[in-house]
Structures are given as structure tokens and as C-alpha cells.
Copies of this chain bind each other. A is one copy, B any other.
Amino acid sequence: MTVASKTRAPVRPLSKQRLRLWIRLLRASRSIEAELRDRLRTEFSITLPQFDVMAALARYEAGINMTELSRMLMVSNGNVTGIIDRLAADRLVLRQAPANDRRSYIVRLTPKGAAQFAIVAKAHESWVDELLAGFDEAEAEALIEQLGGLAATGMKEREL
């Protein structure tokens, strides 16, 4: 092998390969997202962002404040306001004023919200199970591991 052939650029440079990977990742996530969005809408008349918020709240029975919520969901602060407004209008969540800090408040699922979430979450899990049926235990585990590092690298500093 000559020096020239050693230093020649590869047919498919790594940067192009990573670009292809990014496009695949994006398409995969978008198509799954679209499918879930569609089923949530037609079967439960709920939007995906609303479901995401309820899922976050379901993990904190005592409730959390708006900033924590927006950090968990990786969306802007102002965005959460609108989603909570709509959920509150449907009596699925409520805002509670804590005693110690009058700037913020705690958001919680109502009993109605928790009951409805339990039903929707069950369906949601089975849909995901169906859509990701191509991955067995080991493949899923490996992929989770590989993707885990991604969110951290090169991103804006974020505690998580």
C-alpha cells in the first residue's frame, strides 16, 4: 500500500456516515412519534405533548413546579404554560400555591387525570412495544446504552 493510497480520503468519509446516521435517527424518531400522535388523537383525543406532561406528572404524586417540568420535557418554559392551561381546562391537572414561594406553584394530576393517564399509558406502552417489536431484549439494551451518551455531548450545560 502506497502512502498516497493511505492518505487518500475514504469513499464515504466518517462525517458523511454520521450525517446518514443522524438522518436515520431523525426519521425513525419522527415516524414513531407521528404514529403515536395519531393513535393518541384518534383513540383518546389527547395530544402527544399533553401525554408527555401527564407522564412527567405521574412520576411525582406530590407535584412539581413549572420549571422542573419544562426541564424534564426539554421544552421551553413558556411552552409548558399553554399545555398546562389546556390540561387544567379539562380538569386533568391542577395548580397549587405552595406556602413558601409565591412566585411558583406546584402542578399535580387530579384524580381524574391520574385515572385517565393510567389507561392511556397502558395503551401507549403496548403501542411502543408493537412499534419496536424488531428489537429483542439484548438489542434494546445495547441501543439504550449507545444512545445514552448522545444527549450529553456537545450540548448546552444542563444538569442532567
Assess whether A25 is interfacial by the CB under 8 Å rule: yes
One of B14, B131, B134, B136 near A137 (C-beta < 8 A): B14
Smallest CB–CB gap between A118 and chain B, Å?
Answer: 15
Assess whether A159 is interfacial by the CB under 8 Å rule: no
Residues of B close to A26: CB separation below 8 A:
29, 32-33
Known: A26-B29, A74-B34. A15 touches B128 (CB 8 A): yes
Assess whether A78 is interfacial by the CB under 8 Å rule: no
Q: Please determine whether A133 and B154 come into contact, CB atoms closer than 8 angstroms.
A: yes
Residues of B close to A3: CB separation below 8 A:
none
Residues of B close to A132: CB separation below 8 A:
18, 21-22, 150
Smallest CB–CB gap between A94 and chain B, Å?
Answer: 26
Known: A21-B135, A128-B19. A143 touches B146 (CB 8 A): yes
Q: Please determine whether B149 and A27 come into contact, CB atoms closer than 8 angstroms.
A: no
| Residue among A16, A18, A125, A147 with most chain B CB within 10 A | A18
Known: A17-B140, A133-B153, A134-B150. A25 touches B28 (CB 8 A): yes
Residues of B close to A140: CB separation below 8 A:
14, 17-18, 20-21
Residues of B close to A74: CB separation below 8 A:
27, 30-31, 34
Sample of 17 A–B contacts (CB below 8 Å)? A14-B136, A17-B137, A17-B140, A18-B129, A18-B140, A19-B125, A21-B135, A21-B147, A22-B32, A25-B29, A26-B33, A31-B74, A31-B150, A35-B156, A130-B154, A133-B154, A135-B146
Closest A-B pairs by Cβ, 6 of them: A29-B29, A15-B129, A18-B132, A28-B150, A31-B151, A24-B147
